[in-house]
A and B are shown apart, each in its own frame.
Chain A
Amino acid sequence: MDDWQTLPRVLAAIGVVLVLCVYMALIERKLAAKVQGRRDSNTVSVAFFDGLPFSGLLKHWGIFQPIADILKLFVKEQATSWRQKVLVLAYFATALFPFFVMPVGMQKGATQPLILSSVQGSLLFVLIVRLWGHGISTQIQGGRWRLLRGISTELLLFFVILSVSLRAHVSSLPLTFEGIVLAQKKYWFVFSQPIGALLCFVGLCLNDCECPYSGVAHGLLKLGQKLHTLLGALLFSLFFLGGWHFFPGLPLMGTGVIFSIACLGLKMAGVIFLLFWVRWTLPHMREDRVLAALWRLWIPLAILSLIVNSAWQN
Chain B
Amino acid sequence: MAKLVERRPLKAWERLNILAFLKGMRTTLRWLLKRPITLEYPEARPYIPDNYRGTPTLVKDIYGREKCVACQLCEHICPAKAIRITPGPAPEGFSHIGRAPAIFQIDRSRCIHCGLCEEVCPEEAIVLQKEYSFSGTDRNAMMIDKEELYEAGGTLPDKYFKWGKSE
Binding site for B on A (CB under 8 A): 31, 33-39, 42, 277-278, 280-282, 293, 297
Chain B interface size, under 10 / 10 to 19 / 20 to 34 / 35 or more: 10 to 19
B31 touches A293 (CB 8 A): no
27 contacts between A and B (CB under 8 A): A31-B32, A34-B31, A34-B32, A34-B34, A34-B36, A35-B28, A35-B32, A36-B31, A37-B31, A37-B34, A37-B37, A38-B36, A39-B36, A39-B38, A39-B40, A277-B25, A277-B29, A277-B32, A278-B25, A280-B28, A281-B21, A281-B25, A281-B27, A281-B28, A282-B21, A293-B17, A297-B16
Q: Closest Cβ of chain B: how far from A8's Cβ, in Å?
A: 40
Given that A282-B21, A293-B16 are known contacts, is A37 also in contact with B28, CB under 8 Å in the complex?
Answer: no
Q: Is the C-beta of B79 less than 8 angstroms from some C-beta in chain A?
A: no
Q: Which of B2-35 contact A (CB under 8 A)?
A: 16-17, 21, 24-25, 27-29, 31-32, 34
Contacts of A277 in B (CB 8 A): 25, 28-29, 32
Closest A residue by C-beta to B23: A281
B31 touches A35 (CB 8 A): yes
Binding site for A on B (CB under 8 A): 16-17, 21, 24-25, 27-29, 31-32, 34, 36-38, 40
Contacts of B25 in A (CB 8 A): 277-278, 281
Question: In the complex, A281→B38 CA distance in Å?
Answer: 20
Question: In the complex, A278→B22 CA distance in Å?
Answer: 10
A-side interface mostly:
helix
Give the total number of A-B pairs whose CB atoms are below 8 A apart: 38
Q: Closest Cβ of chain A: how far from B37's Cβ, in Å?
A: 5
A37 touches B38 (CB 8 A): yes
Contacts of A34 in B (CB 8 A): 31-32, 34, 36
Closest B residue by C-beta to A40: B36
Contacts of B40 in A (CB 8 A): 39, 42
Q: Closest Cβ of chain A: how far from B24's Cβ, in Å?
A: 5
Q: Closest Cβ of chain A: how far from B10's Cβ, in Å?
A: 13
Contacts of B29 in A (CB 8 A): 277
Question: In the complex, A31→B28 CA distance in Å?
Answer: 10
Given that A281-B21, A297-B16 are known contacts, is A33 also in contact with B28, CB under 8 Å in the complex?
Answer: no
Question: In the complex, A293→B38 CA distance in Å?
Answer: 37
Contacts of B27 in A (CB 8 A): 281
Question: In the complex, A293→B18 CA distance in Å?
Answer: 11
Q: A36-B31, A37-B34, A39-B36 are in contact. List 16 more A-B contacts (CB 8 A).
A: A34-B36, A35-B28, A37-B38, A38-B36, A38-B37, A38-B38, A39-B40, A277-B32, A280-B28, A281-B24, A281-B25, A281-B27, A282-B21, A282-B24, A293-B17, A297-B16
Question: In the complex, A277→B27 CA distance in Å?
Answer: 11
Question: In the complex, A281→B27 CA distance in Å?
Answer: 8
Contacts of B17 in A (CB 8 A): 293
Contacts of B36 in A (CB 8 A): 33-34, 37-39
Q: Closest Cβ of chain B: how far from A243's Cβ, in Å?
A: 26
Q: Closest Cβ of chain B: how far from A118's Cβ, in Å?
A: 38
Contacts of B38 in A (CB 8 A): 37-39
Q: Closest Cβ of chain B: how far from A50's Cβ, in Å?
A: 14
Question: In the complex, A201→B16 CA distance in Å?
Answer: 16
Question: In the complex, A31→B34 CA distance in Å?
Answer: 12
Q: Closest Cβ of chain A: how far from B121's Cβ, in Å?
A: 41
Question: In the complex, A140→B53 CA distance in Å?
Answer: 55
Question: In the complex, A37→B32 CA distance in Å?
Answer: 8
Q: Closest Cβ of chain B: how far from A80's Cβ, in Å?
A: 39
Contacts of A293 in B (CB 8 A): 16-17
Q: Closest Cβ of chain A: how far from B28's Cβ, in Å?
A: 5
Question: In the complex, A124→B37 CA distance in Å?
Answer: 48
Q: Closest Cβ of chain B: how far from A161's Cβ, in Å?
A: 24
